[in-house]
A and B are shown apart, each in its own frame.
Chain A
Amino acid sequence: MRNTLACARNSFRLLTAIALFSCFLPASADVDTGRQLYRSYCSQCHGLDGTGNGINAPHLEVAPRNHTDRSEMITRTDEELFKAISEGGQSINKSVLMPNWGKTLTEEQITDIITFLRALCCLDL
């Protein structure tokens, strides 16, 4: 009985977390599309698992952001992330090594990447 209650409580917490998380995302945002785009355009520096250890990372003078670091990622708004991806690191006073993708990716694609980043940092994927 105790196990059943604990299980129900955990399920409720998980559903609540997902519901709250969903409130902050655009309706069209797509985690799976974001995951594919991340693999194509971000993983070479930020790593296949998003921890900042991509194949280029050892050769960069500034370490790429660890996107799985929840404490860091929750300090960034979606608008900041969008600006960094679209206009590059310099636009938010970060490294020039983070390029601008706004002329390569559509706004919708960038939004999908942000959706994936939020899932990566704050949900167990």
Chain B
Amino acid sequence: MTTYPFKLYVAFSTALLMSKVVAAGVPEVATSCQSCHSFETPAAIVEQNLQNRIAPPLYFAGNKFRRGWLIDWLQSPSQIRPSGTFYAMHTSTVDGEDFVDEGSLIPHTAVGSAEAEELADWLMTLTPKAELIAAEANYTPGNVSPRLGAMDFVKFKGCGGCHRDTPEYGGLSGPELYTAWQRLQPGYIVSYMREPAAWDSLSTMPNRAMGDIQIHKLTDYLKTLSGED
């Protein structure tokens, strides 16, 4: 039997208790999601402590995810964040070296196809950040040379320090990005890279103050990784 650290139990229990008081507006199919995910308004998110966050907020899920990906993933969830939502919560130190305590990661619940569709349909209605997506309308998806894209991602922008662009290569603290294009809406990728805090005030992704050309090139690299024409 997997044993989770005490701090995780505390965080999970707190989230479970919190979920009882924020149920308004959340359909029955998504009630249990509130145990880990926040559907609260941005104002309430600010009050949360990053160090107790056990799952990403979903109040802007409809601006973030692709519906088809949500339906597939909810039926067969995989680990998107190698070190969990807040890495320090899942990091242990042995002989002065940190490692991801994979046993502490809580696997996401899988649901059936009908429930996945129902959940995805509701999540796609959560679109409070539509204006941020609209502001990126000048982005037209394209492809880049995989080699030059990888060089930009790893060496020039340093994204590979925290993110993986292949299952084998890259940092562990951020979500993997080799399936980002299938998972995320292009406008969200561009907007989040431009200003992470506009989406999530507790984001630990730095704002690199990049311009359109740099952001679009990195976004095109994520598209190139997907293999999509």
Nearest-CB residue, chain A, relative to B205: A104
* B4 interface residue (CB < 8 Å to A): no
Establish whether residues A96 and B156, one from each chain, have CB atoms under 8 Å apart when the complex forms: yes
* B106 interface residue (CB < 8 Å to A): no
Nearest-CB residue, chain B, relative to A53: B97
Closest 8 CB pairs of A and B: A44-B173, A56-B171, A103-B207, A99-B206, A53-B97, A97-B158, A97-B161, A96-B158
* A5 interface residue (CB < 8 Å to B): no
* Segment 16-59 of A: residues with Cβ below 8 Å from B: 36, 39-41, 43-45, 47-49, 51, 53-57, 59
Q: Interface majority SS on A: helix, strand, loop or mixed?
A: loop
* B179 interface residue (CB < 8 Å to A): no
Residues of B within 8 A of A98 (CB): 158
Residues of B within 8 A of A44 (CB): 83, 87-88, 162, 171-173, 204
A40-B204, A53-B98, A103-B206 are known contacts. Are A59 and B171 too (CB-CB below 8 A)? yes
Residues of A within 8 A of B155 (CB): 61, 96
Establish whether residues B88 and A48, one from each chain, have CB atoms under 8 Å apart when the complex forms: yes
* A60 interface residue (CB < 8 Å to B): yes
Band of interface residues on A: 20 to 34
* A101 interface residue (CB < 8 Å to B): yes
A49-B96, A56-B173, A59-B171 are known contacts. Are A41 and B204 too (CB-CB below 8 A)? yes
Establish whether residues B96 and A40, one from each chain, have CB atoms under 8 Å apart when the complex forms: no
Count B interface residues, CB 8 Å.
35
Residues of A within 8 A of B170 (CB): 59
Residues of A within 8 A of B172 (CB): 44, 55-56, 59
Establish whether residues B162 and A101, one from each chain, have CB atoms under 8 Å apart when the complex forms: no
* B209 interface residue (CB < 8 Å to A): yes
Residues of B within 8 A of A53 (CB): 93, 96-98
Residues of A within 8 A of B160 (CB): 59
A55-B83, A55-B173, A56-B171 are known contacts. Are A104 and B98 too (CB-CB below 8 A)? no
* A100 interface residue (CB < 8 Å to B): yes
